[in-house]
Amino acid sequence: MIPANVAVQRPVDARLLVVDAAGCVTHHRRADFPSLVASGDLVIANDAATLPASLSGIHEATSCPIELRLAGRRSILARDVRRFIAVAFGGGDFRTPTEQRSLPPTIRPGDALQLGPLRARVRNVLGHPRLIEIDFDGSVEGIWEGLARHGCPIQYAYLGQPLAIWDTWTRIASLPVAFEAPSAGFILDWRVIAALRARGATFATITHAAGISSTGDPHLDALLPLDEPYDIPTSTAALIDATRRRDGRIIAIGTTVVRALEDAAARDGCVRSGPAVATLRVGPLTPLRIVDALVTGQHEPGTSHFELLRAFLDDEALGHAAREAEAYAYRTHEFGDSLFGANRNAKFKMQNAKALESFEGSPGSLAS
Amino acid sequence: MSEPSLAGLRVAITGGTSGLGLALVRRLLDRKAHVAFVARGRKGVERTCRERPDACGIVGDVSRKDDIHPIAIQVLGALGGLDVLVNNASSLGPVPLAPLADTECEDLELAFGTNVVGPFRLTRALLGALAASARDGRAPLVVNISSDAALNPYAGWGAYGASKAALHHLSRIWNEELAAEGIRIVSIDPGDMDTPLHSLAVPDADRSQLKSPDTAAAEIVQLIAAHAGSHAGALEITR
């Protein structure tokens, strides 16, 4: 696969690799995603907007430049912006791949950081020289102003140009609590949402503070995903219940939606509404109680996103999908092509099987 | 007689430190709404925050592209979501007013930037939050402040009138398009008011003939309250 190096959310030639519950792979135009959705299905996306979570500044004890990438928070509450978990880098910018970014200066509890107009104090170093817990000084409004005006979205070395904040907001972006864009949601625009409704499907959202996808450091990446707060609206919980009762499918747009819904249902199989913190790490042994299919990006083996995919598809199907994606030069990363993966254990409803059959004839050859 | 509370209603107002915007901030806070307001000048924002510490003041210029997302982030951070957006900040274009033939292109651009493109950008940045409000059954509303100059061709009001006409029509089209999402967009002419903007346009106006911005604000708050009230508690699970 090749990295998608231009920050266009919905390129006209975006593609969708579909892996059905039996592990069969087909190739589609991503714009035809609504055709995969049937009457009675519920499509759920993460409506978190992306925070400008990259903050550059100075580590006061050493006067060394530092970049903090906010990566975790205690709750989803908008006013709870004082305390964050952050990953620290030394000097340099996004043009250096994170794997090669220098370590930050040695950080100790109590150290002060001046990040543009924001001032923060290190509470703890969390078992790794890059991973720290900080408290911002000042009023809640002042912290929001500092983040909004000084922060940049977390950048990616594979992109030719720096990302602007608007590149990272999905069409449905609402509360700014995601540390990186919930990029599977780039598949959606208002026309797609209208098309889903026109097919008799329902659209709903959750809000999930998506954490950072990788740090470039294998020891830190092994800790991902960190605990992530989320909120499930009452209306979404009710729609999930209604969809399950009528045997419709629940289609998650993005790994964050899977994590939130399965975390919420881990106790007794029911999705309750309200705020919570996802601690569940979805992997090959995680039983999927809620989600019947997932739309996500093209993920490389070894990443936490790929591990989550293994809950949906067995290794044989994933291997087949990876070979197809490689052979047909699918693009990876945030602005790349997408994958639609069915839960191998979900009952595959007749109506949906029919929808897929009629769909497979339509898009023509994409992989030329 | 006390009016019904708007507690829990999350409202953002641009141009909130003078004229109609400030009157709206006061009246909405009096009705217990949760209010964030935006204005260009930090001093004005701080002054209004001192008067009304229950409001969240945000410094930003809606005519600047780079200010839009920082404004949206601060609005959503302060309110935790959004139910009502009032695009009130306006530019006259050339001051003093000028016939179109004497209007500099940059002044025309400023009027359209502040009165059309700014509200368009800010509404778009906040549309996800408004749609989330609709899914929660809260009946989101965008109020675009227009003018009778949007409909009547007053000589000398070219940049202002043409830009308000564009905002008015943009509101009508967008309202049609967003009906399925449950988001209402209206354009309101508040009438000729005794505001700093009016005195810039017509310095020698007889102020006794002008409507007080507080009266206009009361009418708009009434409309906001009626819209919210007509949907209160009507949490519907619909497609």
CATH number at residue B203: 3.40.50.720
CATH number at residue A145: 2.40.10.240
B239 contacts in chain A (CB < 8 Å)? 197, 200-202
Is position A265 within any domain? yes
Is position B3 within any domain? no
Asked if A78 lies within 8 A of B79 by C-beta distance, the reply is: yes
Is position B1 within any domain? no
Is position B219 within any domain? yes
Asked if A238 lies within 8 A of B237 by C-beta distance, the reply is: yes
Please give the tally of structural domains in chain A. Answer: 2
pLDDT of B214 reads: 97
pLDDT of A296 reads: 96
Please give the tally of structural domains in chain B. Answer: 1
Is position B80 within any domain? yes
Q: How confident is the model over A236-262, as a mean pLDDT?
A: 97
Is position B137 within any domain? yes
Asked if B77 lies within 8 A of A49 by C-beta distance, the reply is: no
Q: Clarify whether residues A41 and A57 are in a common domain.
A: no
Q: Clarify whether residues A45 and A62 are in a common domain.
A: no
Q: What is the mean pLDDT of chain B?
A: 94
> What pTM value is reported for the model?
0.94
Is position B5 within any domain? no
Percent of chain B with pLDDT over 90: 94
- Domain span including residue B207: 10-230
Q: Clarify whether residues A223 and A92 are in a common domain.
A: no
Q: Give CA–CA dist A103/B52, Å, rounded.
A: 46
Using an 8 Å Cβ cutoff, are A342 and A20 in contact? yes
Q: Clarify whether residues A32 and A71 are in a common domain.
A: no
- For residue B231, name the pLDDT band (cuts at 50, 70, 90): low
- Among A127, A150, A173, the domain-final residue is A150
Of residues B73, B127, B177, nearest to A176 (C-beta): B73
Is position A268 within any domain? yes
Q: Is the pLDDT of residue A366 over 70?
A: no
- For residue A347, name the pLDDT band (cuts at 50, 70, 90): low
Q: How much is the ipTM here?
A: 0.94
Of residues A51, A148, A174, nearest to B81 (C-beta): A174
Q: Clarify whether residues A24 and A136 are in a common domain.
A: no
Q: Clarify whether residues A124 and A262 are in a common domain.
A: no
pLDDT in tens, A50-65: 999 999 999 999 999 9
Q: Clarify whether residues A213 and A250 are in a common domain.
A: yes
Asked if B73 lies within 8 A of A171 by C-beta distance, the reply is: no
Q: Clarify whether residues A261 and A180 are in a common domain.
A: yes
Of residues A78, A166, A202, nearest to B76 (C-beta): A78
A176 contacts in chain B (CB < 8 Å)? 72-73, 76-77
Is position A366 within any domain? no
Is position B64 within any domain? yes
pLDDT in tens, A285-315: 999 999 999 999 988 888 888 999 999 999 9
Is position A130 within any domain? yes
Asked if B180 lies within 8 A of A172 by C-beta distance, the reply is: no
CA distance B164 to chain A (A): 26
- Among A121, A150, A179, the domain-final residue is A150
Per the annotation, the verdict on B160 as an active-site residue is yes
B54 contacts in chain A (CB < 8 Å)? none
- For residue B75, name the pLDDT band (cuts at 50, 70, 90): very high
Q: Clarify whether residues A236 and A322 are in a common domain.
A: yes
What is the identity of the amino acid at A32?
A: D
Catalytic: which of B160, B161, B168, B183? B160
Q: Which residue of A has its CA nearest to B179?
A: A194
Q: Which residue of A has its CA nearest to B132?
A: A174
Q: Is the pLDDT of residue B230 over 80?
A: no
3-state secondary structure chain A: CEECCCCCCCCCCCEEEEECCCCCEEEEEHHHHHHHCCCCCEEEEECCEECCCEEEEEECCCCEEEEEEEEECCCCCCCCCCEEEEEEECCCCCCCCHHHCCCCCCCCCCCEEEECCEEEEEEEEEEECCEEEEEECCCHHHHHHHHHHHCECCCCCCCCCCCCHHHHCCCCCCCEEECCCCHHHHHCCHHHHHHHHHCCCEEEEEEECCCCCCCCCHHHHCCCCCCEEEEECHHHHHHHHHHHHCCCCEEEECHHHHHHHHHHHCCCCCCCCEEEEECCCCCCCCCCCCCCEEEEECCCCCCHHHHHHCCCCCHHHHHHHHHHHHHCCCEECCCCCEEEEECCCCCCCHHHHHHHHHHHCCCCCCCC
Percent of chain B with pLDDT over 70: 95
- Among A126, A150, A174, the domain-final residue is A150
Is position B99 within any domain? yes
Is position A293 within any domain? yes
CATH number at residue A278: 3.40.1780.10
- Domain span including residue A182: 2-49+162-360
Q: Give CA–CA dist A253/A59, Å, rounded.
A: 39
pLDDT in tens, B150-160: 999 999 999 99
